[in-house]
Amino acid sequence: MRNGPGTADLQRWSEEVARDPGSPSFLPLAEAYRRMGKTQAALRLCLRGLERCPGSVDGHLLLARIYLELGERERAADEWAITARLDPDNFDAHRGLGFFHLERGEYASAGRHLERAALVRPGDPAVQEALAVLRRHLARSGAASQTAATANGSEAPVPPPPEARNGAGSSAPAAAAGRAETAAQPGATTQPPAAAAERGEEVAQPPAPPAAAESVETAPQAAAAAQPAAGAATKAERSPAEAAKVPGAGGRDPARVFEPLSREAPFLGALLLDGRGLILAGSVRAGGTTRSEALGAAVGPAAEEAARTAALLSIGRWRGILIETDRALLHVSPLEEDLLLLVATECGTPVGWVLRTAERAAELARRFLAEGVV
Amino acid sequence: MSDTVASTLDRLSHVPGVRSAMIVDAEAGVPVASELGTGASATAVAALTASLFRRTDEAVRQAALGGLGSFQLETEDGHLVVAGRRELIVVVVADRDAQLGLIRLEVDRAVEALQ
C-alpha cells in the first residue's frame, strides 16, 4: 500500500519544476502540496504551470479544486468553464458548474450542466440527486415565482445543493461551505473511494438522504436564517421580494435618496446596490445619459474580485475601492450585510473630496434603510 | 530588465510605506520586475492583480465609462494600488498609514515612464 508520493518523488518533481515551471511535474507536485495542506504553494505552482501550459485540463481542474479550498467559488467556476471549453465532455467540469449554478439559484445554467454531466456519467448519484432536487423545485415553485423572477431579471431562488444542505444546521458558515465544496470538488469522485481513502485523500460526501433533502428544500428561508452570514448562499437565497423590502418603503422616491449631494458640481450620482448588483436606491447620470443599470451590473463583480484579491494577498477585509476611468471617478464601499454603495464623480475630482462625499452618501443610505425597517 | 523598468521600480519601492512594488504584464498576469516584501509571492500577486485590473477594465468599459486608469483598494491592513494604460501595469502594496498622495503621484509617474 502506498501512502502518497515519497520524498524522492517530491524532490524530483521540484527539480523539474524549478528547471521548467511548465513541466508536467507541476501537477503531481501541486497536488502533493495541496494534500499536505500547503494550499498557497499549490496555488502558485498551478498558476505558474498553467501560464506555460494553458491547455492542461488536469491543471485547470486542480486549480478549481484549490480555489474551492480557498473559498473562491467564482474562480473555481471560471476554471471549470475553461475546462469545459477545452474538453466539452468533461464530467468534473460540468458537475462543478452544475452545483455552482444551483447554489446561486441559476436554474437554467445548473440544469444545462447537470444534464451534460449526467449524459457523460449517467450513474453518478450526486448528479442524479441534484437533478431531482432541481426538477422538484421547478415543479413546486410554479409559474408565479418564475414570472416574478423573470420580471426581476434574474432566476428564481433555489435551495442550496444537497451538499450545502448537509451543513444547514451549522453555526459556522465557513465550515458548511467547506463541506459543500468538498462534495462539489471534481477530483473527489474521479477515483474509486477506496483507492482515494488508501492515499489518505478526501472522498466526496455522499448526497444528502432524500428525507433530509426534502425537509430543507421546503424551507429554504429557514435554512438561510440559520446561516445569517453564509455569504454567497445567503445572497442566493434572498428572493427579489425580500430584497425589495430592504429599502425604505416610506413613500420616498428611491431614485432621489442622494439628491442632497447633487448640488455639488462634480457629483454624478450614487447607487445603493444589493449583492446581486440590483439597484435599491439612487441614480447616476454621466454625459446626459443614465448609467445606473450598467454601473450596477459592473460594480458587483468588481467588488467581489477585489474582496477575493484582498483575502488572497492577506491584507485584510476590503473597505473601499477607488476606480479612475477616462470619464469618471468611482468609489465603491461595503455598507451593511451584502449591500454596496457606489459614488460617481466627474473625472479629475480630488480624491479626498470623493472620499468625504462617499461618507455623506453612506449616511444618506443608512437613513434610507432605517426608514424602511418596520 | 530594462533600465526604465529597473529605475521605475527602484523609485517606487523607496516611497515610505510601500511594502511591495511590481511591474506586471497585464495580459499574461506575470511579473516583469518586482520588489516584494516578505511573505509575498510575485507570481501570485501578479496573477491576482492583473486579473483584477482586466476585469474591472472590462466592467467600466461596459458601463461606457472609458478605459480604466487606476484601481485603488483600501483594506483593513493596507492599500493596493494598480495603475496602467497599456501592456504593463504598476502594482503597489502599501501600509495602512502610508502617504497615499505621494504613492499615487509616484505610481502616475511610473505609468508615464512605462508608456
The pLDDT of residue A93: 93
Query: How many Cβ atoms are within 10 Å of B54's Cβ, its own excluded?
Result: 16
**Are A326 and B65 within 8 A, CB to CB?**
yes
User: Taking each helix axis from N to C terminus, what angle separates A57-69 and A173-184, rounded to the nearest 10 degrees?
Assistant: 160
**A318 versus A52: which is more confidently predicted?**
A318
Q: What confidence category does residue A345 fall into, taking pLDDT thresholds of 50, 70 and 90?
A: very high
**Are B72 and A322 within 8 A, CB to CB?**
yes
C-alpha span between A274 and A247 (Å, rounded)? 10
The pLDDT of residue A117: 94
Strands (E) across chain A are located at 267-273, 279-286, 289-290, 318-325, 328-334, 340-346
- The predicted-structure confidence for B83-107, as pLDDT tens digits, reads as follows 997 788 999 999 999 988 999 999 9
How far off is chain A from B86, nearest CA to CA, in Å? 14
Of B30, B44, B76, the CB nearest to A316: B76
Candidate from A50-54, A101-105, A114-118 with smallest mean pLDDT: A50-54
Predicted TM-score (pTM) of the model is 0.51
Residue B76, pLDDT > 80, answer: yes
Inform me whether the C-beta atom of residue B38 falls under 8 Å from chain A C-beta atoms. Answer: no
The pLDDT of residue A62: 94
Strand order in the sheet with A267-273: A289-290, A279-286, A267-273, A340-346, A328-334, A318-325, B68-75, B78-84, B88-95, B18-25, B30-35
Mutation test of the interface with chain A: which of B51, B74, B92, B108, choosing the one with the most A Cβ atoms within 10 A? B74
Burial of A71 (0-12, 13-18, 19+ CB in 10 A): middle
The pLDDT of residue A55: 78
The pLDDT of residue A3: 58
Query: How much helix, strand and coil, in percent to the nearest 5, is found in chain B?
Result: 40, 30, 25
Candidate from A124-138, A149-163, A262-276 with smallest mean pLDDT: A149-163
**A331 versus B114: which is more confidently predicted?**
A331
- Residue A145: what are its φ and ψ, rounded to 5°? -70, -35
How far off is chain B from A62, nearest CA to CA, in Å? 16
Of the spans A7-11, A138-142, B36-40, which averages the highest pLDDT?
Answer: A7-11
Q: Give the residue-averaged pLDDT of A23-49.
A: 88
Q: Give the residue-averaged pLDDT of B10-24.
A: 90
**Are B41 and A44 within 8 A, CB to CB?**
yes
Residue A233, pLDDT > 80, answer: no
Q: Give the residue-averaged pLDDT of A174-195.
A: 36
Over chain A, what is the mean pLDDT? 71
Closest residue on chain A to B76 (Cα): A316
Over chain B, what is the mean pLDDT? 86
**Are B52 and A325 within 8 A, CB to CB?**
no
**A42 versus A205: which is more confidently predicted?**
A42
The pLDDT of residue B39: 60
The pLDDT of residue A56: 85
Residue A189, pLDDT > 60, answer: no
**DSSP class of A247:** S
**Grid cell for residue B114:** 512605462
Candidate from A208-222, A234-248, A310-324, B54-68 with smallest mean pLDDT: A208-222
Q: Give the residue-averaged pLDDT of A195-222.
A: 34
Provide, rounded to the nearest whole percent, the portion of chain A with pLDDT above 70.
Answer: 67
Provide, rounded to the nearest whole percent, the portion of chain B with pLDDT above 70.
Answer: 95
Residue B79, pLDDT > 80, answer: yes
A→B contacts (Cβ < 8 Å), by residue, are 40, 43-44, 47-48, 51, 286-287, 289, 291, 294-295, 297-299, 301-302, 305-306, 308-310, 312-328, 330, 351
**Grid cell for residue A297:** 451590473
Residues facing A284 on adjacent strands: A269
- The predicted-structure confidence for A237-272, as pLDDT tens digits, reads as follows 333 334 344 444 445 678 888 988 887 778 889 999
The pLDDT of residue A358: 93
Residues facing A270 on adjacent strands: A283, A343
The pLDDT of residue A66: 93
Q: What confidence category does residue A165 fall into, taking pLDDT thresholds of 50, 70 and 90?
A: very low
ipTM given for this complex: 0.92
Residue A373, pLDDT > 60, answer: no
